[in-house]
Amino acid sequence: MNIKGTITYRKIVNQGYTPVWYKTNQGSIAAFIIAKGRKWMKVGLTDGRVKRVRMTEEKYMTAWTNKSGRVA
């Protein structure tokens, strides 16, 4: 993950990642999908951590939209 400084929607899209809202037990957090595999995917969180989660967790993710309402 090569994003420096504050993580923004534009930086995530320009790096080629998919921005999502990830619903957890602590509430919704902004995240981005780095890579997808057959069973696992890497998800980057906006606090700088990278988590490896199962593909079934994708049902708890919704796509971000930018100011114009478009999905990346």
pLDDT digit string (tens) for 28-64? 998 999 999 999 999 998 888 899 999 999 999 998 8
CATH number of the domain enclosing 43: 2.30.30
Given a contact cutoff of 8 angstroms between Cβ atoms, the answer to whether 14 and 8 are in contact is no
- Asked if residue 2 is part of any domain, the answer here is no
pTM exceeds 0.85, yes or no? no
Q: How many domains does the chain have?
A: 1
Confidence (pLDDT) at 61: 93
Range of the domain at 33: 9-63
Is 39 part of a structural domain of the chain? yes
Report if residue 57 sits inside a domain: yes
Instruction: Let me know if residue 70 belongs to a domain.
Output: no
Q: Are 61 and 31 in contact (CB under 8 A)?
A: yes
Q: What is the pLDDT of residue 2?
A: 66
Is 1 inside any structural domain?
Answer: no
Q: How far is Cα 25 from Cα 13, in angstroms, rounded to an integer?
A: 26
On whether the CB atoms of residues 54 and 37 are closer than 8 A, the answer is: no
72 within domain boundaries: no
